[in-house]
Structure 1
Amino acid sequence: MAMLFSAMCLQFCNPVTVMGNGRPAGSVVALPLEHVREREGTEIKVVSCRVVSQKVLPDMSRHAVLSAGASLWRSISCPSAELRLDLVLNCGQSFRWRETSEGHWTGVIAGRVWTLTQTQDRLWYWTYPSEPREERETETGADRVKTEPTGEGETQGVTNRREEKRGAERVNTEPTGEGEGITSYTEKKRRRGRELIKTEPMGEGEGEGEGAREVKTEEVSPQGEGSEQDRKEQAILRDYFQLSVSLGELYEQWSRADPHFKQVSETFTGVRILRQDPRECLFSFICTSNNHISRISGMVQRLCERLGEPLCQLDQTPYHQFPTLQALAAPGVEPLLRELGFGYRARFVTQSARQILEQQGPDWLESLRDVTLEEARLALRKLPGVGAKVADCVCLMSLDKAESVPVDTHVWQIARRDYASQLGAGHKSLTDRVYHDIGDHFRKLWGPYAGWAHSVLFCADLKKFQNLKAEEQVKKKGRKR
């Protein structure tokens, strides 16, 4: 039902009293014009809304756009040299981000749907409320594979809610002291990583490298003091993008050790490693065997739509949680995945999920963050469908193993073409010995964050980003003139 409000009409947005996007009931915020159908003087007719505790909640059925009302967005300080969304979210680390409008990326982090965009010095974000649970139940119905209880008296729905809550609580957001802000679990672990940089040489004859200082990401809230929800959301972002690691300092160290990296980095700044949920990362990369990024993204999307819990729908695009281990291991999932185009990978998905639940337990994957790279790699390779490259991708992108260097034929070609490397010369295939030799070569060259440096070169070699190299060459020619 359309409802009338008294409000002052502006060009892009209109202040009205609503409740939404984490704001308390009765907050005065700007309502984007997408939600406005008619204006008569100071009377605004809203297209659609829900009433929550006698307050009006605009129907969040559209992807947010910064230009439609920046006062509704939150942001943290983050220079583009430290993070480039167009590269990081589109280079094959995660397969669940969509560019929903120019420079705006929408995906799921920690059980919520986010839209992210950036300006030169700030990372802007918008989070969407999830659908009420009673509305979710009717969406999938018989289309979903029924899953059996996961424990005594515990249904799949209970498991979904428990895992969603655990994902949201994964980041420690307790204040560290009056006026100190917050310290996440990742930030504490990264301090240990930065100590490694101080003591290990970055290349032959380089001497000791400098430590990577923590990137300052001060909060900005449209209403002044950040709320508790603001602090939690910003901690989740810092954790996901690992913003406690100074990428600028790492680039400097890698450039001193490696002239080729220095040349590439002039164009490909802001490429950093995500810290993803280990379950999502593992099963996404099981789908990468003999595959390419666009097809993998479609497979992961179909997997989530059929087996994951619904979160919300924006512009007719549904967003879902990544499926739980119980959902992936359920009877009937393998034939369903084959129907969805997974082929032989369907068996690897279901068998790996069952093996983890039966032999290790639901928290096992996260526990691998606390073991060495070699221990984590060996443990993962015992799972069906997990070879050396998939194991290293999971270690690097979800298990805090910054020194992990995933190697495929593409990376092998980079090593031989750009580093005059004779590694694997005479071999027609990438053997285990060649794989480890290439990884060790790059770890010796780049140091304890070798996996991060490797990802910059991998990103720079993707066909989709070759236009950036051409643009950089045009700029250089213009500067010479």
Structure 2
Amino acid sequence: MSFHSLHIPQLQLSLAAVLKCGQSFRWSIIPLRTNDYNGPTHEYRLCLRDRVVCLRQSSDTLFYRTVYPDPQPTSPQLALRDAETLAWVDDYFQLDIDLVKLYDQWAIRDKVFARFRDRFSGIRILRQDPWENVVSFICSSNNNISRITKMVQNLCSHFSPTLLSLPDPANPDQSFTYHPFPPPSILSLADVSTTLRTLGFGYRAEFIQKTAKFLVDSHGSDTLLDNPCEASEQWLQGLRSVSTAEAREELLKLTGVGRKVADCVLLMSLDKKEVVPVDTHVYQIAIKHYGMKGGSGKTTMTPKLYDELHARFFSVWGEYAGWAHSVMFTADLKAFADYNITPSSSPQKKTSTPKRKRESELKEEGKDCLPTPPLTPGPGAISKAVIGASVLALEPETENMTLAERVKRRRTGKRT
């Protein structure tokens, strides 16, 4: 089936950023073999309940097509289903919101944002399925994007039957299988947590099973002919129509959902556009760019500090503060360090190599969903560097000494 097209400039939507910045974790991103530098370079695929949506993007056009499992829809059905896909694309990416206008407003209000706006254009908040969003961000606790993606995809492939298979567009001999996201009734079963532990979910396994069971017990698992979502999923979707405070209160009843996870769900699936999810990484951004004071040592994210940070960001960005926060958060990701940097404008590469990796790179379990921004070195680190440079400056004659002579000279304190 051929692709349909929508005129959408990348200033309004950048798939390369939006689908990789830690909002959604089920998109398959497949490189294309092409010599057309102005055309699509990747295909993006997502499995819904009854179809797989495939997207490609050029500088000014979004291409989309839908693949269905057998039996294939008839021509009248196909026209209706393609219209459904178009409506889904519009809703999922919230294309009714003028992102360029929002960027303009944020740049006027915030000089820091203005520095990032051109390089990180096209980043908008997705309007995801709330149930999938809840489970995904339960997985995000003490985790990183790559690992969350693997966990969520393993969950789908294990608990949902294969909907269909599609070939790799760059290698037709290779194919990929696609699985829908499992409903609460499936993940509420008693043995789910044990299975999830074998899949590497750790303590999050019990959180997911208990949350699913709570939803099913509280709101049911029945479905209707005109709505394939279970009753508990429909209840979650209904939180879009209540106040932010009321929706947050309901989400906090779920096992494994704290303030940050609840706020991620509020922002990314429940239409609460003003909500800024806060963690220690966001705190570092606030210290680095927005005048927040940082304490010495490790900071505990207390409710008071959380509220102060949220209020600070809201005062800077306004009613779409959560959207602006996503741009700044993406700009601070290590994976986006070279994003949209041309060779002529890129900073010079450092010649020194760190002797050891950052602790966050060594401890996979210790990472959060989004990597910690680089911290400003403390006075101790600066003073050691200055002292080392001074010693070298005072002793240029050591350059031609042997190692043994240097050691002897340092021990005796002699000058030759």
TM score, norm. by length of structure 1:
0.63
Partner of residue 201, structure 2 = 342
Alignment of 1:223-302 (within 5 A): 227-302=79-154
How far 1:284 sits from its partner (Å)?
Answer: 0.8
Out of 372, 387, 400, the residue aligned to residue 271 of structure 2 is 400
Partner of residue 369, structure 2 = none
Read off the aligned partner of 2:180 and give its amino acid letter: Q
Identity, % of aligned positions: 45
How far 1:258 sits from its partner (Å)?
Answer: 0.1
Q: Is the 8 A contact 1:258 1:445 kept in 2?
A: yes
Contiguous gaps of at least 5 residues in structure 2 = 32-40, 73-77, 168-174, 221-231, 349-416
Aligned equivalents of 2:340 and 2:244: distance in 1?
34
Out of 32, 41, 44, the residue aligned to residue 105 of structure 1 is 44
Out of 431, 444, 450, the residue aligned to residue 315 of structure 2 is 444
Read off the aligned partner of 2:310 and give its amino acid letter: G
Confirm whether residue 84 of structure 1 aligns to residue 14 of structure 2.
Answer: yes
Partner of residue 461, structure 1 = 332
Distance 1:90 1:456, change over 3 A: same
Read off the aligned partner of 2:327 and give its amino acid letter: V
Distance 1:272 1:387, change over 3 A: same
Distance 1:458 1:115, change over 3 A: same
Q: Is the 8 A contact 1:113 1:128 kept in 2?
A: yes
Alignment of 1:350-389 (within 5 A): 350-361=209-220, 362=232, 363-389=234-260
Read off the aligned partner of 1:344 and give its amino acid letter: Y
Alignment of 1:413-424 (within 5 A): 413-422=284-293
Structure 1 residues 233-291: Cα deviation after superposition (integer angstroms, max 9, x where no partner): 21110000000000000000000000000111110000001000011110011001110
Aligned equivalents of 1:473 and 1:374: distance in 2?
48
Alignment of 1:186-205 (within 5 A): none
Aligned equivalents of 1:251 and 1:269: distance in 2?
8
SS at the partner of 1:99?
A: strand
Q: Is the 8 A contact 1:424 1:430 kept in 2?
A: no
Partner of residue 428, structure 1 = 299
How far 1:423 sits from its partner (Å)?
Answer: 6.8
Instruction: Indicate the structure (1 or 2) with the bigger Cα radius of gyration.
Output: 2
Q: Is the 8 A contact 2:42 2:56 kept in 1?
A: yes
Partner of residue 207, structure 1 = none
Out of 41, 48, 53, the residue aligned to residue 114 of structure 1 is 53
Higher relative contact order (CA 8 A, sep 6+): 2
SS at the partner of 1:95?
A: coil
SS at the partner of 1:364?
A: helix
Contiguous gaps of at least 5 residues in structure 1 = 1-20, 22-71, 134-225
How far 1:347 sits from its partner (Å)?
Answer: 0.1
Read off the aligned partner of 1:327 and give its amino acid letter: I
Read off the aligned partner of 1:253 and give its amino acid letter: Q
Out of 402, 407, 410, the residue aligned to residue 281 of structure 2 is 410
Read off the aligned partner of 2:182 and give its amino acid letter: P
Partner of residue 170, structure 1 = none
Aligned equivalents of 2:273 and 2:146: distance in 1?
26
Q: Is the 8 A contact 1:423 1:434 kept in 2?
A: no
How far 1:321 sits from its partner (Å)?
Answer: 0.7
Runs ≥4 residues deviating over 6 A = 423-427
What is the aligned residue count? 316
Aligned equivalents of 1:237 and 1:404: distance in 2?
23
Structural RMSD (CA): 2.3
Distance 1:293 1:380, change over 3 A: same
Partner of residue 125, structure 1 = 64
How far 1:99 sits from its partner (Å)?
Answer: 1.4
Q: Is the 8 A contact 1:402 1:450 kept in 2?
A: yes
Read off the aligned partner of 1:103 and give its amino acid letter: H
How far 1:127 sits from its partner (Å)?
Answer: 1.3
Read off the aligned partner of 2:285 and give its amino acid letter: I
How far 1:310 sits from its partner (Å)?
Answer: 2.1
Aligned equivalents of 1:374 and 1:297: distance in 2?
29
Q: Is the 8 A contact 1:423 1:437 kept in 2?
A: no
TM score, norm. by length of structure 2:
0.72
Aligned equivalents of 1:432 and 1:239: distance in 2?
33
How far 1:475 sits from its partner (Å)?
Answer: 7.7
